[in-house]
Structure 1
Amino acid sequence: MSEATGCHTPPATAEIAPDDLLAEILLRLPPHPSFLSRASLVCKRWRRLIRDPGFLRRLRAFHRTPPVLGFFNNSPGLPRFFPTEGIPGRIAAEASSLRRDGDDGMWWFVDCRHGRALLRSRDWAELLGWDPMTGERRCITVPNQMQAGASDRNAAVFCTASGVDEDCHSSPFHVVVVFTSRGRVFACGYSSRIGAWGVLMSTTASSPCELYDEPPALVGEALYWLVNGSRILEFQFGSQVLTLIKWPMGMNAIRKWSIRLVRLEDDVLGLAFVKDFNLHLWAREVTDDGASKWIQRRAIELDKLLPLPTAMDGNWCRLMPVWICGFAEDQNVVLTRTIAGVFLVSLQTLQFKKVSCSLLMKTVYPYASFYVPKGGGDADDGANCGIERL
């Protein structure tokens, strides 16, 4: 007798297939969580297999890199989520509920990585670690010594899980806050495992230091932020070393909203910037004598790739500008903003997709994740079998 719960009855061949064979079939569905979410509604057997922790580990091992589900953006009201496909659903609903107790009631995005998002209060007195897939939230109080006299600030979140046997959604995470004050640059890390901040590190800045608002790049055991004066702030969180390094020579004229620090495929620090409608990728490589050197890797002609609108300038027809507004380092995907909207571009395949028509997005925060079951048990097995929109 079929185990169907009022939903679609599985094909007979799927009904009689052993669990391990059916799991192999489900494993080969596209990695976007919506596919497994729909499959879990077919019947209780499929739901049991899909929710099994062993199956979820195999899913991460099989697909390796989680898909980009969309991106977050700080809007004048509440933070908003823009999906890369389909309609806004579970994650967008979670984002719309991000209200903070206080005068302004606002949280602002500062980073998004490894399935977690990091938000701040307006005054940086509190941080919020948030898992959009599970809904888990942790409010983190920023110590007074990191607030008094601080000017520019930025922060990062990252997972401590290693390998496919660990899941970032259930593993501890780290937060690093950097800020400037009285001619020095500071950094301090927080561990969710122990619920405490570490030692406050600092280094001298030879000239006034201004941290850019854009999220940092994570390369190995180091985080990198853009700083004015053609500098990059490097924080080796394993060895607790904080230093300032230089950009490539000749890049001073690049406007700061057209440049991003990125992690390239071979786990090296990179710079991505747009100039003359070309997306340039530079890498900081170590030479044979142990010194570091910036080398140009690629130049992608965006004007031949994207449907860029044109405008008349006197008797000339010119292309409208392009900006970088986000980068998904694990997926090697860049988000570009044009007057026609926001485009997601794969640097590996050069395939692109328009993901938003909005023009007012200076910085976006890409979000990637595998399927994570919502709640527990069979609470979602309602008679109407509504699809759990992600």
Structure 2
Amino acid sequence: MCAPTRGESTEKSGLEVLRGLEDEDILIPALVCKRWHRIVRDPGFLCRLRAFHRAPPVLGFFHNSPDFPNFVAIQGMSGIRIAAAVRDLRMDGAGGMWWFVDCRHGRALLRSRDWADLLVWDPITSHRSFIAVPDQAREGAFDCNAAVLRPSGATGCGGDCRSSPFNVVLVFTSGSCAIACMYSSATRAWGEFVSILTPSLQCEVTEEPGALVGDELYWLLGESSILEFRLNDQRLTLVERPLEKFSVYKRNIRVVKSECGSGLGLAAVKNFSLHLWAREADHHDTAKWVLCREIELNTLLELPLTLPRVGSIPVWISGLGEDGNVVFLRTTVGMFIFWPKTMEFKMVTNNVLIKTVYPYANFYLPQVVPTGL
């Protein structure tokens, strides 16, 4: 299991052998073999590994708690290392703690208690970028949310993947307007504020993480709208979410990339049923919401039909993967990770108090720095 045989491509051999291996399987050969060490240390190796595997695995999820943020590992030693690293996230001063807001493209976004500052954190490298929130958002905002992502169109790595640029999109409501602006790590500055009128003064951006669908970011807004931020021209628009279709779900609903295609979708739970909706155009080119799938969860997850208390919610959508490929469901017996396409599921914790989770997906390659090579 040491070096590739003579005449083989280093890139191909490294990727094929490392497919599906755990961190320790990468470390051991790299520690004893010079050629393996050079492969793993190559700045472009992680990029080629990502292209080979396509979708990174979900290593676990972050969640906020009254004492400090936590990470629940789902698989491998990598998740355990991230769980240890998250305990070091502390602030100086009175606030004392960061709160998770979003996770995407290998980075986590956190905020201070008063939304005065944001922190973009790479759990793998521990690199941190601190960003001051604009005064207009701090002083006039009724509610806030934010997202972190790679710049639009930046699918390649260009060298070191982990030092690639990032954007942060901040959204908030003030009076009868929804307002957004975008921060670029390349310029280290916020862009111009853009705004749009909301259907009513009571509209607020929900605190749950948004969804990236193509070149648009989406957040639930009020009871009957979805806020869309277009990354290419930095504009806000509203998408209708009819009350007659979706009021039955109350707040047990999340925006997601549609399972039926590449467009906008919604995932919602009613009692013990998971409903997957898609926004599609009809033959008149008019967009409408279509129910794609209805999944009964009580028999699949073997959930008790008797609720522990009157009025409790038996199944709650706590989080979604970046591509909507996994759903985290809080139940009366614990938290499950559920794959709708394969109908597979796994209990990840028996904690029934977690409301919102921030799934973290990435390839974990340890920093191999052996001596004497």
TM-score by length of 1: 0.86
1:312–1:122 CA distance, 2 compared to 1 (3 A): closer
Name 2:345's counterpart in structure 1. Answer: 352
Retained in 2: the 8 A contact 1:40–1:50? yes
Task: Specify which of 164, 170, 192 is matched with residue 199 of structure 1.
Answer: 192
Task: Specify which of 146, 149, 159 is matched with residue 155 of structure 1.
Answer: 146
Q: CA deviation at 1:330?
A: 2.8
TM-score by length of 2: 0.89
Q: Percent identity?
A: 50
Name 2:40's counterpart in structure 1. Answer: 50
Retained in 1: the 8 A contact 2:3–2:36? no
SS class of match (2:36): helix
Gaps (5+ residues) in structure 2? none
Name 1:171's counterpart in structure 2. Answer: 164
Report 1 or 2 for greater relative contact order, CA contacts < 8 Å, sequence distance ≥ 6: 1
Name 1:225's counterpart in structure 2. Answer: 219
Name 1:378's counterpart in structure 2. Answer: 370
1:247–1:373 CA distance, 2 compared to 1 (3 A): same
Structure-2 separation of matches of 1:292 and 1:357: 40
1:300–1:16 CA distance, 2 compared to 1 (3 A): closer
1:56–1:199 CA distance, 2 compared to 1 (3 A): same
Letter of the structure 1 residue corresponding to residue 301 of structure 2: L
Retained in 2: the 8 A contact 1:189–1:197? yes
Name 1:17's counterpart in structure 2. Answer: 5
* Structure 1 residues 46-85: aligned runs within 5 Å: 46-85=36-75
Task: Specify which of 79, 91, 106 is matched with residue 97 of structure 2.
Answer: 106
Work out the number of aligned pairs and report it: 363
Structure-1 separation of matches of 2:225 and 2:4: 62
Provide Cα deviations, 1:207-254, integer angstroms capped at 9, x if missing partner. Answer: 121221100011111111112222111111212221222114321121
1:170–1:312 CA distance, 2 compared to 1 (3 A): closer
1:360–1:242 CA distance, 2 compared to 1 (3 A): same
SS class of match (1:169): helix
1:144–1:339 CA distance, 2 compared to 1 (3 A): same
Structure-1 separation of matches of 2:307 and 2:230: 49
Name 2:306's counterpart in structure 1. Answer: 311
Q: CA deviation at 1:80?
A: 0.7
* Structure 1 residues 282-293: aligned runs within 5 Å: 282-293=277-288
Retained in 1: the 8 A contact 2:15–2:49? yes
1:242–1:95 CA distance, 2 compared to 1 (3 A): same
Greater shift, 360-369 or 55-64, is seen at 55-64
Q: CA deviation at 1:39?
A: 4.7
Q: CA deviation at 1:295?
A: 1.0
Structure 2 residue 138 is the aligned partner of structure 1 residue 124: no
Gaps (5+ residues) in structure 1? 1-9, 383-390
Letter of the structure 1 residue corresponding to residue 353 of structure 2: L
SS class of match (2:67): coil
Q: CA deviation at 1:354?
A: 1.2
